[in-house]
């Protein structure tokens, strides 16, 4: 039995990464342009609540500073910052509970950003390997099954021995289910209320990682043996 976890909104709350990035950018704007940091941060957080997009443009605009170059600088500060984030308590306990099992992470996203998150969360020390899909080319990001088969190869197990625990039904399950990988959807984060056609949905659902225990996994892995 091999346990594979998604990262964002599965092991920690992604919103906290975004806010941590905003703090870094506010600090940068404060030190370079003498902008009031708290005001800049509050502005960005408010824009986030209203729906993302153009947050740095709008913030720079607010202070009469907006140029393309400065927006790009904000983006690189955001992406490069060492995030102040921690594992959800349930995630921490879950990794502890299964620490004797082979554990992996498969995550999409900018490879430097994802790497910074994994470092900040101390995950390189807690799982066998972290697969940042973009390291293998964008075509191998989810819903591609590429990294999942690499895990199978490394562990010498078929897909039916591997479970993926993740939160986004748009891309987390649809590519791997047809190969026999087991799938568990966490009903949390941004996609919590999203319902998609059956092919996109995981075979099992949990409200949180506290429910991921051996009894539950017995169900997950037993399902196909009766088919
Ligand atoms: Mg996710």
Å from CA of 106 to ligand 1 middle:
10
Q: Please give the average per-residue pLDDT across 190-195, as a whole number.
A: 96
Percent of the chain with pLDDT over 90: 96
Å from CA of 67 to ligand 1 middle:
32
Tell me which of 3.40.50.150, 3.20.130.10, 3.40.50.920, 3.40.50.1000 is the CATH number of domain 2-13+86-226. Answer: 3.40.50.1000
pLDDT given at position 53 = 78
Å from CA of 156 to ligand 1 middle:
26
Å from CA of 170 to ligand 1 middle:
10
Å from CA of 111 to ligand 1 middle:
15
pLDDT at 211 over 90: yes
Å from CA of 17 to ligand 1 middle:
13
pLDDT given at position 52 = 66
Phi, psi (degrees; rounded to nearest 5) at 101: -95, 160
pLDDT given at position 51 = 83
Å from CA of 168 to ligand 1 middle:
5
* C-alpha dist (Å) from residue 96 to 5, 120, 210: 14, 17, 12
pLDDT at 18 over 80: yes
Q: Please give the average per-residue pLDDT across 39-49, as a whole number.
A: 96
pLDDT at 223 over 60: no
- Mean pLDDT in the chain? 96
Phi, psi (degrees; rounded to nearest 5) at 132: -95, 105
Å from CA of 8 to ligand 1 middle:
4
Å from CA of 218 to ligand 1 middle:
24
pLDDT at 221 over 90: yes
Å from CA of 9 to ligand 1 middle:
5
83-112 per-position pLDDT tens digit: 999 999 999 999 999 999 999 999 999 999
Å from CA of 10 to ligand 1 middle:
6
pLDDT given at position 227 = 45
140-171 per-position pLDDT tens digit: 999 999 999 999 999 999 999 999 999 999 99
Phi, psi (degrees; rounded to nearest 5) at 65: -120, 5
Å from CA of 226 to ligand 1 middle:
30
The Cβ of residue 118 has, within 10 Å, a number of other Cβ atoms equal to: 20
> What's the chain's length in residues?
227
């Amino acid at each position: 039995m091999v346990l594979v976890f998604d990262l964002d909104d599965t092991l920690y709350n992604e919103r906290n990464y975004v806010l941590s990035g905003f703090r870094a950018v506010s600090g940068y704007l404060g030190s370079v342009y003498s902008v009031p940091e708290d005001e800049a941060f509050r502005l960005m957080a408010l824009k986030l609540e209203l729906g993302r997009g153009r947050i740095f443009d709008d913030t720079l605009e607010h202070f009469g500073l907006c140029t393309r170059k400065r927006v790009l600088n904000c983006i690189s500060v955001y992406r490069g910052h060492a995030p102040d984030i921690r594992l959800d308590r349930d995630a921490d306990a879950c990794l502890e509970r299964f620490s004797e099992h082979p554990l992996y992470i498969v995550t999409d996203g900018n490879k430097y950003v994802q790497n910074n998150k994994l470092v900040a969360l101390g995950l390189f020390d807690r799982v066998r390997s972290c697969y940042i899909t973009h390291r293998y080319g964008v075509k191998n990001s989810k819903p591609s099954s590429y990294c999942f088969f690499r895990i199978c190869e490394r562990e010498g197990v078929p897909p039916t021995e591997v479970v993926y625990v993740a939160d986004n039904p748009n891309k987390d399950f649809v590519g791997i289910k047809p190969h026999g990988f087991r799938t568990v959807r966490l009903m949390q984060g941004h996609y919590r209320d999203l319902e998609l056609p059956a092919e996109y949905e995981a075979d099992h659902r949990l409200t949180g990682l506290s429910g991921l225990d051996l009894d539950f996994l017995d169900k997950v892995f037993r399902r196909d043996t009766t088919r």
